Amino acid sequence: MGDNVVLRRAIAELGLRHSELARRINQHTESVSGRLGTVTERTVHNWVSGRTGWPNAKQRAGLEAVFDCSAEALGFTPRGRRPVSPPEGPVRRRTFLTSGPSAVAALAVPMLASRSTVGHADVERASARLQTLDALDDHQGGHTTLERAAVAGAQQAIDLQQNGTAGERVRQRLFGVAAAYTALAAWSCIDSRLFDQAQRHLDRCATLAGLARDSTAQLRVWNSIAILANSQNRYGDALAATRAAQATRITRRDPLFASMAHARVAVALANLRDRQAALRSIGLAGEALGHSIEQPRPTWMAFYGLAELHVLTAIVHERLDEPERAEGASHRALSALPEQFRRNRALATARLALAQVRQGDAELATATAVSVVDLMNGVPPSSRIRTALGDFHRELLTLSVTTPSAREWADRFRAEWSRS
Structure confidence by residue, pLDDT tens digits, 162-221: 877 778 888 889 999 999 999 999 988 888 888 999 999 999 999 999 999 889 999 999
Separation CA 349–CA 372 (nearest Å): 6
Residue 110: exposed, middle, or buried by beta-carbon count in 10 A (0-12, 13-18, 19+)?
exposed
Strand partners, 165: 117
How many angstroms separate the Cα of 179 from the Cα of each of 101, 107, 295? 22, 17, 22
CB 261 within 8 A of CB 219: yes
pLDDT score at 254: 94
Separation CA 370–CA 346 (nearest Å): 11
pLDDT score at 295: 85
More confident residue, 114 or 27: 27
pLDDT at residue 415 tops 90: no
pLDDT score at 105: 44
Separation CA 331–CA 324 (nearest Å): 11
pLDDT band at 128 (very low <50, low <70, confident <90, very high): confident
CB 231 within 8 A of CB 193: yes
Domain 1-82 matching CATH 1.10.260.40: the answer reads: yes
pLDDT score at 110: 43
pLDDT score at 98: 42
Q: From the DSSP assignment, how many helices (H) and strands (E) are in the chain?
A: 22, 0
pLDDT band at 86 (very low <50, low <70, confident <90, very high): very low
pLDDT score at 87: 44
- CB neighbour list of residue 250: distance below 8 Å, 6 or more residues apart: 215, 216, 218, 219, 257
Residue 56: exposed, middle, or buried by beta-carbon count in 10 A (0-12, 13-18, 19+)?
exposed
Under DSSP, is residue 117 helix (H, G, I), strand (E, B) or coil? strand
Q: Give the residue-averaged pLDDT of 96-117.
A: 46
Separation CA 350–CA 267 (nearest Å): 18
pLDDT score at 80: 60
Residues 35-76: tens digit of each pLDDT = 788 899 999 999 998 889 899 988 888 888 787 677 887 888
Residue among 90, 79, 160 nearest 124 (CA): 160
pLDDT score at 218: 93
pLDDT score at 290: 94
Of the chain, the percentage scoring pLDDT greater than 70 comes to: 83
CB 96 within 8 A of CB 132: yes
Chain-wide mean pLDDT for the chain? 82
Which of 57-61, 121-125, 248-252 has maximum average pLDDT? 248-252
CB 396 within 8 A of CB 357: yes
